[in-house]
């Protein structure tokens, strides 16, 4: 359960409850149905019962005249029953008429209040308002109770044109002049922020595998709440996921009859392993390392078991594997009890192919926020680096399987009542073998690159690695059940392989 983002965290500068209520109530009928369709909305078992205004402040617009577009910053409390609530951060644009060229950003119309009848829309899509946001919040006094603290230069460059990134992720991202990238955290919490802190530490030790931290947006007054992060924009030829799926598809479709032993991506995977090892070394330099005691490991095994129990509530299909999964976790705990030593440190925490960018300067690792579903305090805990390695290994499996699933229908099994011919069945099995072989090949390349760059050899700790891959696959099963049920078979198949040792 995330820490409560109480009204007082923001009200000091942000206006009182009454003001938030007055500004936001007329917008709620439009905001509620829109919010539940956002990728960053957390779907709880109890449906969304109520949206309550927490804070609101006008960051731009009202001084400009009656019909000037308004930029409204707000926090809402989404209640799913008495005990479960999540806080969401919104940047709402308001205009008297629907904004031209921003049709996809429209949320609805205000019903009453100061902007009665005005169109409200997702302001991160409006370059004018985003440019204003950067300019105003990074000024000496901040704006509306928000302030952008900068790490290097005393001011941000002026005149950078803003554009929203079309990717729908856990947060929302705006790029300024292909120099800076601003990420607005959708579910901010009071207290330290794992991504801001990780990037600050890594920037200080001059890690060259990450975007440098340029600043962070936070509340000004009261207990600080980090609301967003400003970092170096990294021009890339693609992220690891796009490139891997492309290459896996090529390998699966290859016209040769035998399984290709090499493909264009293995060298990239090796280099990626080396880049991740470099990031781990920098994280250790910035934040230190510890040796886990057998008690620490036992506590982690308990935690894995608790997570598994929680996962069973969401994905009952895990039930037949639960006993063996628990066994894999305990195997790891037993080794620590017998004196095998495990070191732990700050890690990335949610590493997968979508979190790495291929740039002219090699691979860069982004998004150090950790697994969004985990409590923040847990994301700060030192962890074995193998957890990140396991995350990336799972991702190679996903890429192979996704490339296979995305093949045009004609290349897959014939649908319908007609049985597939022997030739079709052979082709299907060949493609499926190739997808698997692609993953295995690239997993090996990744781990050998990791070890060659000075990281430990992940295959020297097979029991721990298997436990962490299983843990990740369980996390993924929950994630897929909640967000993309069609993808659930990918982690489920991996769980089956992991527990039956194949
Ligand atoms: N520093 C950066 N430079 C260039 N593109 C980036 C950078 N950081 C993120 N991106 C792009 O934005 C997308 C979303 O970023 P990410 O940090 O993964 O967001 P989220 O926290 O919402 O998951 C990434 O997949 C990548 O395409
Ligand atoms: O990038 P996020 O922080 O939003 O991470 C979440 O979403 C990811 C999906 O976008 C999810 O990753 C899973 O799917 C990926 C393919 O889309 C795959 O490469 C990863 O291996 C797999 O875990 C991630 O788990 C979730 O936290």
- Residue 374 Cα to ligand 2 midpoint, Å, equals 14
- Residue 173 Cα to ligand 1 midpoint, Å, equals 7
Residues 495, 473 contacting (CB under 8 angstroms)? yes
* Domain hosting residue 302, numbered range: 294-341+461-502
Tell me which ligand sits closest to the C-alpha of residue 230: 1
ipTM of the assembly? 0.97
CATH number at residue 486: 1.20.5
Domain end point (choices 206, 232, 258): 232
Same domain, 163 and 80: yes
Same domain, 194 and 333: no
**For every one of its 502 residues, what pLDDT tens digit does the chain have, with 9 covering 90 and above?**
333 454 445 544 455 567 788 899 999 999 999 999 998 898 776 688 889 999 999 998 876 667 899 999 999 999 987 778 889 999 999 999 988 899 999 999 999 999 999 999 999 999 999 999 999 999 887 788 899 999 987 778 888 999 999 876 789 999 999 999 999 999 998 889 999 999 999 999 999 999 999 999 999 877 889 999 999 999 999 999 999 999 999 888 876 555 555 567 899 999 999 999 999 999 999 999 999 998 999 999 999 999 999 999 999 999 999 999 999 999 999 988 787 888 999 999 999 999 999 999 999 999 999 987 788 888 999 999 999 999 999 999 999 999 999 887 555 555 555 667 788 788 888 888 999 999 999 999 999 999 999 878 998 999 999 999 999 999 999 999 988 999 999 999 999 999 987 6
Task: Give 298's contacts (C-beta < 8 A, 6+ positions apart).
Answer: 333, 336, 337
354 lines ligand 1 (CB under 6 A): yes
Closest CA to 304 of 465, 144, 472: 472
Same domain, 20 and 133: yes
Residues 321, 499 contacting (CB under 8 angstroms)? yes
211 lines ligand 1 (CB under 6 A): yes
Domain end point (choices 232, 258, 274): 232
Whether 32 maps to a domain, the answer reads yes
Residue 44 CA to chain centroid, in angstroms? 18
Nearest CA to ligand 2 atom 20: 395
Q: Of ligand 2's atoms, which has the minimum distance to the CA of residue 392?
A: 21
Same domain, 22 and 168: yes
The beta strands (E) that lie in 154-262 are given as 162-164, 172-176, 180-184, 213-219, 226-232, 238-239
Same domain, 224 and 324: no
Same domain, 211 and 109: yes
Whether 272 maps to a domain, the answer reads no
- Residue 354 Cα to ligand 2 midpoint, Å, equals 7
Whether 269 maps to a domain, the answer reads no
Whether 80 maps to a domain, the answer reads yes
Helix H or strand E encompassing 379: helix 376-380
Whether 384 maps to a domain, the answer reads no
Whether 441 maps to a domain, the answer reads no
Same domain, 66 and 204: yes
* Degrees to nearest 5, angle at CA 196 with 455 and 227: 150
The alpha-helical segments, DSSP class H, found in 254-321 are: 265-287, 294-314
Same domain, 130 and 214: yes
Tell me which ligand sits closest to the C-alpha of residue 194: 1
Same domain, 154 and 57: yes
Tell me which ligand sits closest to the C-alpha of residue 473: 2
Same domain, 227 and 306: no
Same domain, 198 and 95: yes
The total number of structural domains in the chain stands at 2
Same domain, 227 and 308: no
352 lines ligand 2 (CB under 6 A): yes
């Amino acid at each position: 359960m995330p820490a409560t983002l109480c009204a007082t965290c923001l009200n000091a500068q942000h206006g009182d409850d009454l003001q938030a209520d007055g500004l936001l109530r007329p917008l709620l009928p439009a905001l509620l149905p829109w919010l539940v369709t956002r990728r960053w909305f957390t779907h709880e078992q109890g449906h969304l019962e109520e949206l309550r205004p927490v804070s609101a402040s006008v960051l731009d617009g009202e001084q400009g005249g009656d019909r000037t577009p308004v930029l409204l910053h707000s926090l809402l409390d989404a209640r799913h029953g008495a005990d479960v609530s999540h806080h969401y951060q919104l940047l709402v644009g308001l205009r008297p008429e629907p904004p031209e060229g921003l049709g996809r950003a429209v949320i609805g119309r205000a019903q009453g209040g100061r902007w009665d009848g005005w169109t409200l829309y997702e302001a991160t899509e409006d370059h004018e308002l985003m440019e204003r946001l950067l300019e105003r919040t990074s000024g000496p006094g901040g704006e509306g109770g928000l302030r952008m603290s900068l790490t290097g230069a005393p001011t941000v460059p002026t005149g950078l044109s803003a554009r929203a990134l079309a990717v729908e992720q856990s947060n929302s991202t705006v790029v300024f002049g292909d120099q800076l990238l601003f990420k607005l955290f959708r579910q901010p919490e009071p207290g330290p922020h794992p991504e801001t802190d990780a990037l600050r530490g890594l920037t200080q030790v001059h890690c060259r595998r990450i975007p440098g931290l340029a600043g962070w947006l936070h509340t000004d007054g009261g207990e600080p709440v980090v609301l967003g992060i400003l970092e170096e924009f990294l021009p890339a030829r693609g992220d690891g996921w796009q490139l891997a799926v492309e290459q896996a598809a090529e390998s699966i479709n290859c016209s040769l009859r035998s399984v290709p032993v090499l493909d264009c991506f293995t060298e990239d995977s090796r280099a990626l392993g080396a880049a991740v090892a470099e990031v781990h070394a920098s994280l250790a330099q910035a934040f230190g390392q510890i040796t886990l005691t057998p008690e620490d490991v036992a506590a982690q095994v308990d935690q894995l078991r608790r997570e598994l129990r929680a996962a069973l509530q969401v994905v009952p299909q895990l039930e037949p594997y639960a006993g063996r999964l628990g066994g894999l976790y305990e195997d790891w705990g037993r080794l620590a009890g017998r004196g095998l030593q495990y070191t732990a440190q700050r890690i990335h925490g949610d590493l997968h192919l979508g979190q790495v960018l291929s740039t002219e300067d090699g691979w860069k690792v982004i998004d150090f926020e950790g697994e969004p579903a985990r409590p923040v305090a847990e994301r700060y805990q030192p962890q074995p680096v193998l957890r990140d390695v396991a995350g990336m290994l799972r991702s190679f499996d996903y890429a192979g399987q996704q490339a296979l699933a995305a093949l045009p229908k004609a290349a897959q099994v014939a649908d319908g009542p007609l049985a597939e011919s022997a030739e079709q069945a052979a082709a299907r099995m060949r493609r499926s073998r190739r997808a698997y072989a692609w993953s295995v090949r690239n997993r090996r390349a990744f781990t050998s690159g990791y070890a060659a760059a000075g990281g430990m050899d992940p295959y020297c700790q097979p029991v721990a690695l298997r436990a962490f891959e299983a843990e990740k696959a369980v996390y993924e099963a929950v994630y897929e059940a909640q967000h993309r049920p069609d993808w659930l078979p990918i982690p489920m198949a991996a769980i089956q392989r992991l527990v039956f040792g194949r």
